[in-house]
Amino acid sequence: MGKYLFYNAMVITPTGITPGSVLVHGRKIAEVHFEEQLAGMALPVRDAVPIDCKGLYLSPGFIDIHTHGAGGHDFMDGTKEAIRAACQAHLKHGTTSIVPTTLTSTKQSMMDILELFNTIDFEEANMPSILGLHLEGPYFSYEQRGAQDPRYLRDPDPQEYLAALQLCDRILRWSFAVELPGSLEFLAALNERGIVASVAHSNATCQEVMRAHENGVCCLTHFYSGMSSVIRKNAFRVAGVVEAGYLLPDMVVEVIADGCHLPRELLQLIYKIKGSSHICLVTDSMRGAGLPEGDVIMLGDKEHGIPAIIEDGVAKLMDRSAFAGSVATADRLVRTFRELTKAPLHEVIKMISLNPAVLVGVADKKGSIAVNKDADLLVFDEDIRIQHTMVRGEMLL
């Protein structure tokens, strides 16, 4: 690792976009200079390799905290090769940090994946940084199962989840339905280990989510997808998970901004109410990300997963009854959310860099362009087409 100077750049920070330059030394950002600071001064080139950004944007790398795979590979395939290939497919689209995500499966399959991740190098060369593992399920509501395989849905089982937690200390977050029997005890076990607790595929009432929030739940997984909204019970309207997401000001919501899972109006509503600090853009991509329309692929395990088809920019179950996860990449999320909501670019970048870093506890080293943070940097144009990618101080594109 050496020194690099990114100059003639529009530097994106959480508060705005300013002309400037960034000096990288080793794997860290060593200096950040803005145009007004450089007035009348020579650029601090020193012995650094100069990288002329040509007036394009210089951004922190994208952080995807919810993805199942890409490029024809899924993290449930159960091989190091599949993990590596899926991560590299996302890297091409600006994802410099990633949280591989599982699907509801058998107990044995879950344990096998945990054992595999115990052997993975989280900072392998030519790869995005792997921040940890996200378990999505198996503790989900049947009514809100979406594309989760109903054969494997179950209530939180202490014998199972304690064994999983003991087997692997790389679990970063766990998504579950908070209304299920045993969920509060499960939540306490997550809190004890500092694991981010998220609501997903849940038929909970608003009050049940609020109670879970008071006990440590801090995020709603893929907002609107697989969660309850207003229903009638005995003629009375009862608010659900969606309403809790709006009423709890510090509840973070994941947003799949592929333009398919959520229409323009809902993206605008989420942005209007939650603001730029409590939204995390996620791909929720499965193995179809980056593959052409019309391809039929398996959701989850190649042998025992669910068939899905890539159609209209999204993966669908074969009967078209539900989406089967997105085929989006991080650059598409930024492009689409910006276009459909008219949010300022620096706020959209915050939603896919700093906000995810804060949620999963790595904001001290990732998520923004600041001195002493990891040199995870992107150079891209107005259409979010990636020109240069740096991960931990290594130029990869």
**Straight-line distance from the first to the last Cα atom of the chain, in angstroms, rounded to the nearest whole number:** 15
Together in a domain, 119 and 77: yes
The answer on 315 and 301 residing in a single domain is yes
Going by the DSSP 8-state scheme, the letter that residue 326 receives in this structure is B
- 39 pLDDT exceeds 50? no
Are 277 and 186 part of one and the same domain? yes
Band (pLDDT 50/70/90 cuts) for residue 323 is confident
Residue 40 has pLDDT above 90, yes or no: no
Are residues 200 and 134 part of one domain?
yes
Per-residue confidence (pLDDT) for residue 178, from 0 to 100: 98
Is 224 inside a domain boundary? yes
- Evaluate whether 386 touches 57 at the Cβ level (below 8 Å): no
- Judged against a pLDDT cut of 80, whether residue 337 lies above it is answered with yes
Decide if 353 is inside a domain: yes
Contact of 327 with 288, CB cutoff 8 Å: yes
| Token pair of 59 as six digits | 């951004």
Residue 29 structural domain = 3-59+372-395
Which region, left, alpha or beta, applies to residue 161 given φ > 0 means left and ψ of -120 to 50 means alpha? alpha
Listed in sequence order, the residues at least 6 apart from 188 whose beta carbon sits closer than 8 Å to its beta carbon are: 215, 216
- The answer to whether residues 377 and 238 belong to one domain is no
Question: Which CATH number do you get for residue 189?
Answer: 3.20.20.140
**pLDDT averaged over every residue in the chain:** 94
In this prediction, residue 1 carries a pLDDT of 66
- Residues 94 and 218 both lie in one domain: yes
In a domain, 157, yes or no: yes
pLDDT at 36: 60
Question: What is the predicted pLDDT for the residue at 41?
Answer: 47
Residue-wise pLDDT for 222-271, tens only, equals: 999 999 999 888 899 999 999 999 999 999 999 999 999 999 999 999 99
Mean pLDDT to the nearest integer, 126-139: 97
What's the mean pLDDT in 339-360? 98
Query: What are the phi and psi torsion angles at 273 (to 5°)?
Result: -90, -45
* Predicted confidence (pLDDT) per residue in 145-201, tens digit: 987 889 999 999 999 999 999 999 999 999 999 999 999 999 999 999 999 999 999
Residue 159 in domain: yes
Q: Is residue 364 part of a domain?
A: no
Let me know if residue 366 belongs to a domain. no
Q: Tokens for 68, please give them.
A: 């199942």
Look at the chain and count its residues: 397
Q: DSSP 3-state assignment of 211?
A: helix
Rounded distance, CA 154 to CA 138, Å? 6
- pLDDT for the residue numbered 45: 62
Do 60 and 378 form a contact (C-beta atoms < 8 A)? yes
Residue 35: predicted pLDDT: 80
Residues 20, 136 within the same domain: no
Q: Is residue 211 part of a domain?
A: yes
* DSSP percent split of the chain into helix, strand, coil, nearest 5: 25, 30, 45
Q: What is the pLDDT of residue 317?
A: 85
185 and 53 in a single domain? The answer is no
pLDDT digits (tens, 9 = 90+) for 278-290: 999 999 999 999 8
- Considering the domain architecture, whether residues 18 and 79 belong to the same structural domain is answered as no
Distance of CA 192 to the CA centre of its chain: 23
What CATH number corresponds to the domain at position 387? 2.30.40.10
User: What pTM did the predictor assign?
Assistant: 0.95
Q: What is the mean pLDDT of residues 7-15?
A: 96
Is the pLDDT at 208 greater than 90? The verdict is yes
Same domain for 138 and 185?
yes
Q: Is residue 55 part of a domain?
A: yes
Count how many domains the chain has: 2
> Hey, is 160 helix, strand or coil?
helix
What angle do the packed helices 330-341 and 264-274 form, to 10 degrees?
80
Tell me, what's the pLDDT at 215? 97
24 with 156, same domain: the answer is no
What's the confidence (pLDDT) of residue 222? Answer: 97
Do both 209 and 301 map to the same domain?
A: yes
pLDDT tens profile 13-37: 999 999 999 999 999 999 999 986 5
pLDDT on residue 38: 54
